[in-house]
Every structure is written in C-alpha cells, then in structure tokens.
Structure 1
Amino acid sequence: MKTFAYLAVVAVALSACGQQPSKGGAEKAAGPSASGRDQVWAAGSSTVFPFATRVAENVAKTTGGRPAKVESLGTGGGFKLFCGGSGAGFPDVANASRPIKKSEFEQCGANGVTDIVEIKIGYDGIVIANAKSGPTYNFKLDQVYRGVAAELPSPTGFAKNTYKNWKDVDASLPAQAILVYGPPPTSGTRDAFVELGLEKGARMIPTLDTLHGKDEEAFKARAHTIRGDGAWVDAGENDNAIVQTLTKTPNALGVFGYSFLENNMDTVKAATIDGVAPTFETISNGSYPVSRSLYIYVKKANIGVTPGLREFVNAFVSDAATGKGGYLQQRGLIPLAADAHAAQKEAATALTSMAAPAK
C-alpha cells in the first residue's frame, strides 16, 4: 500500500509540474504542448544544416543547456514539418535556402502557426563541381540547360533531350558523358539551381525566351523539368554525399552549395558560370550568376517556451557567428553587408513578424 501511495504522490507531482502556468505571454500563447520539449528543434535546408549545427554547439557550450536538435530534410521538407502545427511535435525553427512560399505560409496559418519571424543569415552560391582530377568546365548557363533539361526546342516544337556527351552540347566543353548528381525536388538548393540557373539558361534560347513572353507558366514547365533518363541523378539531401560521390566518379558533375565546395577544395573544383568562378567576393557582390540568400524562420510563440530558443536565435545573428569574419564565415557562409546584418539583428531582437509573401 505504501508503494502505491508513493507512486500516486509522484504521479500527481509530475502532473502538476507539467501543468504549471508558464511565465510570460509568449509561453501562454504557445500552450502547454510547446513546453514539453527541453531543447530547440530546427529542421530544413541541407545548406543551412552545418551552420545551424555549429550555432547549436556554441550555444550549448555557453549556456550549459542541451544543444539544439538540427535535422537536414531539405528546405521544402523543413517547411512542411515546421508548418504542420504548433507544440512540441513540430520544429521551432525552419532552416531555408530560399524564402518561404505563399502556399507554405498559408499552410502554416491553416495549422495555427502564426507570427513567423524571418531572419536572413547570409548568402550562398550554387556550384557545379567535379573531382580535381577531372576536366575543367567553363559553362554558359544555356549550355547547362541544354545538358540537363528534359526536353529541348526542335523543328516541330519540343523533343526529348538526347544529348549524351557535353561535347555534343557545345564543342567548347569536355568530351565527357553527361552525368550530374544533384539535390532532389524537396531541396532549396534544387529550387535555386532551377530558378537562378536553368531559367536564366532557358531564356538564352530564343524559342524559350519567346515562350516566356507569351506564357510564363508554360515556360516554367519547360525550364524546371530536369531529365529523368539517368543523366541527372537525385542524390538526396546530403550535399557531403555528393562531394564524396565525385571523388569516386571523376567523370561526373555535382550540384551543391558553395560552403561544401569551400570545405572540400582539396578534392573538388568548381566550374565557372558565364566566365565567373564562385568565390566569396563574386557571391557577395552578386556577380556570380547562381547566388542566393539563406534564412531561418522562427515561431515567435515558442520564444520563452522552448528552453534555449531565444539564445539560439540571438546567437545566429550575432557578430561572432554571422558577422564579417564570424565563425560561420569560416564554414563557408557569405556574410551580409554590415547594415543588412544590423537590420537582421534588430529583427531578431524585436521578433518582428513577417508579412505574407507575395508568391
């Protein structure tokens, strides 16, 4: 009887702990379910993953708390989970290598995820690379498009892409079979490659540029559709895995973020795009054609509820992390200009909720 009485007292005590009123309005807004997790949870972009992991490690060292749980699911996968609902079963932070889409923002709202804080953390470039032992590539964007697009203009309209060799695409390119390992459709890296690379390349082709002027949706359907005949291989969300594949397959090309190039320059090299090599300078000044912004999205209601979330956000926008010369720059992040970085610090401090995106 004493044992049962003791267990009953423990059960009541535990129940009371779980139902204690939280401190502050933010905790009340998030509800008891959000306080059921004792660490920050961030999910999304494979490109942002190593940056978020490093921030999580630093915060844990300085606060003594548990490091944030960081998952690499791809930008689309991260937003899907982030927008799935509020509470402990859903991430506090979505890591993203592109802005949130209107449809994703609306899905968040439909599931009770409101007051989202958008924070830009820096820049990245999409590179096309191969093993250092392989040939040197100097691409123009229309050549990249002709190599990986599912269909190309023909005298009768559009026809299946039958190019087998880069030399067939253009005589200036190496005589190598077309084999490209790249990110899957759920990846923000894939989105950026398609929108910043393939769309621009497609518009350099007169037939497709004319189609863009007449019917933008039809143009995008052509420009965004990548070959499915084995010339392009969806290699998963892990960009490090693509790098490793290139070292074993010197005749192949890989598409991934600049940070992975910078951290593996001993084994891989990047192609130039329209005569510009991806470097810190060319990405930060926008002269490299396939550059993009990187973000984290934060549930404002979870600040003050999830232990360590405020510290995680503040650390991400700190001068030590994302400022010029910060430790994330050493990992390949291209920092924002000083004034833009200061603006993001202010947004993180004020927890300014974003407006709905236009598209």
Structure 2
Amino acid sequence: MNKLIGAVATVALLAVADQAHAARDQIWAVGSSTVFPFSTRVAENFAKKTGKKSPRIEALGTGGGIKMFCGGAGEKFPDIANASRQMKKSEFLACQKAGVKDIVEIKIGFDGIVVASNKKGPDFNFKLEQLYLGLADQTLRGGQVVKQPYKSWSEVGPGLPNARILAYGPPPTSGTRDAWIELAIEGGAGKLPTLAKMKAADEKKFKATVSPMRTDGGWVDAGENDNAIVGTIEKTPNALGVFGYSFLEENGSRIKGASINGVKPTAQTIASGQYPLSRSLYIYVKKSQVGVTPGLKEFVSEFVSDAATGRGGYLQNRGMIPLPPAVHIQMKQKANALTPMPAPKN
C-alpha cells in the first residue's frame, strides 16, 4: 500500500512539474488587424531591449480577439486584446462572467479608415451618404428603402466615375468593419432626411435597415489580411479597398485614398477629426496576468512609451496617428498604475 501511495504521489508531482513547465513564457496578444503591425513592431523592440522572447501577436479581428481574450484567465488565454474600437458592454460582461475581472483599457493612438483605389485609376470624391447608397444591402431610392439596385458609381451620384461598384473590405469579426459600419454606412445614412427621421424614431430599426453590407458581389469580405486587399485593388481596375490608414501610407506609391466630403485622409485630418472616418485604437490588458506572464508590464510600458506612441515615435513612422500630449501622458500613467476600466455604457 505504501508503495502504491508513493507511486501516486510521484505521478502527482510529475503532473505539477509538467504544468509548471508548460506555463507560458511568452506574452500573447490577439485582435485587430489594424493594430497588428503596430503591436508587432513594439514586440520587436521589447525583445531587443529586454532579451526576452518576442511576444506572440495574432490578427484575428477586434471581435474575435476580444472573444478569445474574454474566454478566461490563465495561460490558455491571451494577455492582451488589440482593438480598433472600444470594448462593448456585452463583451465586458462576458469577460466578467468568465473570471476576467480587472481589465485595463489603454488608448494608443488614432487611425482613419480609408477607401483606396489603384493609383492609375480614376479619382473618387465621395459624399459620406454615397458610401451608404452604393454599398449597403438595402438603400434609399426615390424616397423608398429598396434592395440595392446600383451597379456603377455614376448611378449613385453626379461626379462619381462610371465604374462598377466593387469594394473589398474587412469581415464582420473586424473592428475596422464595426467602425466602417458606424462611421460610413450608418453615418452616411443618417445624412439623408428620410433615414434621419427613422433613426430618431427607432434607432434599432434604423440600424437593422441600413447596416448590412450588400451581398450581390458589390462588397466582398476580404479577410483580416489588409495587405492582401492592397494587392487585390492594385490588380483590379476601379475596385476599392477599405482598410486602416497605415496601409495607405505604406503603399502610397501603388494606391491612393478617396476624399470623403472633400477631405483627404492624412495624419493631420485624422488626428483633428476633420476626416469623417477617424477612430481611436486600443489595447486591453489582463491585470491578473501581470507578474505571471514574464515581461507583460514591461511590454505595456514599451507600448505607451514616448519612443513608441509619442510624437515622432517609431509607431508614427509606421502610420499611427499619435494622441495629444496630455492624453499620451494619461495613458502612460494608466499603464503604470494598471487602473481597471469601468463597465462600458454601450
């Protein structure tokens, strides 16, 4: 019997040792494809400075990343969710239910959503409402909401090119898609008096009416790889691509951005909010993993450092629009104190 007890104890000790050995020695961040190139750059610099293993960064889209992040605490779940929109109340509550209690929300900068085309193709100068009219599944025509009838941009509005409506953009799991729906599709629809009245009377009905993207081939969900969209529109005459500003800046010799309401997407117009499709970028951090995952706090500190996200920092050179100095200081303080966020309002 003593031998049996000893054998069981030995097996138990080996199991504990195996679990300890299996514990993650690498930071794990998942989420937004827009934040992905910024996060990978920070990961590279973190590894060089600390000598620690470079963090694992995955582009799953904001929604997919937050869902995985909120799956639970511990080494089987990511330490960080990268996001191109704020966490929703429903996502926050899912986190809480799964035991992910102390979440730190850190704003890292700004980005713009661009509508880009081949450098050699026609220039596009959209009014915000024309993006809704041409790309939503149901659209307004003759004062009535109808199934999308438009085949070319010239049918949508005067001054637009006589080009087939074909846009490649982010899938439903993407934070870029969420922001696109809110800023371009719902924002454009809200400019039209008939739909503005609907929104005022019943916002839920308004969203359900205007938000779905067209499903007849005029809009194509192109996955989370924004570089692939760049390559597609470069090879496809008159096609449009929807993605973050940083990809336009990196590929400015191959593609160009459309004007929206007469405003071109630039670092200045995005930071000022003058460009209509501007948004904020975030990282969400599990406070419970600080001190457990080696280097996590140092990685977060690197992300909010002057060298990375400050004015003139290396992420600005990669296309991120920096925060105002006072807000940047606040984010550094939040990262240092690891102050948990309250529940979002929406």
What range is the shorter-chain TM-score in? over 0.9
Q: 1:17 offset after TM fit, Å?
A: 5.1
Residue by residue, what CA displacement relative to the aligned partner does 1:151-189 show, whole Å, maximum 9, x if unpaired?
A: 123568421111000001112100100000000011000
Distance 1:156 1:137, change over 3 A: closer
Q: 1:77 offset after TM fit, Å?
A: 0.3
Q: CA RMSD in A?
A: 2.0
1:335 is aligned to 322
SS at match of 1:142: helix
SS at match of 1:329: coil
Residue by residue, what CA displacement relative to the aligned partner does 1:233-256 show, whole Å, maximum 9, x if unpaired?
A: 000011111001111112200000
Distance 1:246 1:14, change over 3 A: same
1:44 is aligned to 31
Distance 1:152 1:308, change over 3 A: same
Specify which of 215, 219, 234 is matched with residue 221 of structure 2.
234
SS at match of 2:104: strand
Determine if the alignment matches structure 1 residue 349 to structure 2 residue 331: no
SS at match of 1:99: coil
- TM-score normalised to structure 2 length: 0.94
Q: 1:13 offset after TM fit, Å?
A: 7.5
Determine if the alignment matches structure 1 residue 134 to structure 2 residue 121: yes
1:323 is aligned to 310
1:273 is aligned to 260
Residue by residue, what CA displacement relative to the aligned partner does 1:202-233 show, whole Å, maximum 9, x if unpaired?
A: 01111111101111111111221110000000
Instruction: Please list every run of 5 or more consecutive structure 2 residues that lacks an aligned counterpart in the other structure.
Output: 1-7
Aligned residues: 340
Equivalences for residues 1-359 of structure 1 within 5 A:
36-154=23-141, 157-359=144-346
Distance 1:134 1:156, change over 3 A: closer
CA distance in 2, matches of 1:317, 1:178: 40
Distance 1:16 1:217, change over 3 A: closer
CA distance in 1, matches of 2:98, 2:294: 23
SS at match of 1:357: coil
SS at match of 1:269: strand
CA distance in 1, matches of 2:143, 2:308: 54
Residue by residue, what CA displacement relative to the aligned partner does 1:101-149 show, whole Å, maximum 9, x if unpaired?
A: 0000000011000100000000000000001011100000111111001
Distance 1:250 1:153, change over 3 A: closer
The answer to whether the 8 A contact 1:45-1:74 is kept is yes
Residue type of the alignment partner of 1:213: A
Q: 1:198 offset after TM fit, Å?
A: 1.2
CA distance in 1, matches of 2:339, 2:171: 32
CA distance in 2, matches of 1:81, 1:194: 23
CA distance in 1, matches of 2:252, 2:111: 16
Instruction: Please list every run of 5 or more consecutive structure 1 residues that lacks an aligned counterpart in the other structure.
Output: 1-7, 20-31
The answer to whether the 8 A contact 1:194-1:223 is kept is no
Q: 1:16 offset after TM fit, Å?
A: 6.1
Residue identity over aligned pairs, in percent, reads 60
CA distance in 1, matches of 2:320, 2:232: 23
Residue by residue, what CA displacement relative to the aligned partner does 1:6-60 show, whole Å, maximum 9, x if unpaired?
A: xx999887656568xxxxxxxxxxxx79x81010000000000000000111111
Residue by residue, what CA displacement relative to the aligned partner does 1:58-102 show, whole Å, maximum 9, x if unpaired?
A: 111111111000000000000010000111111000000000000
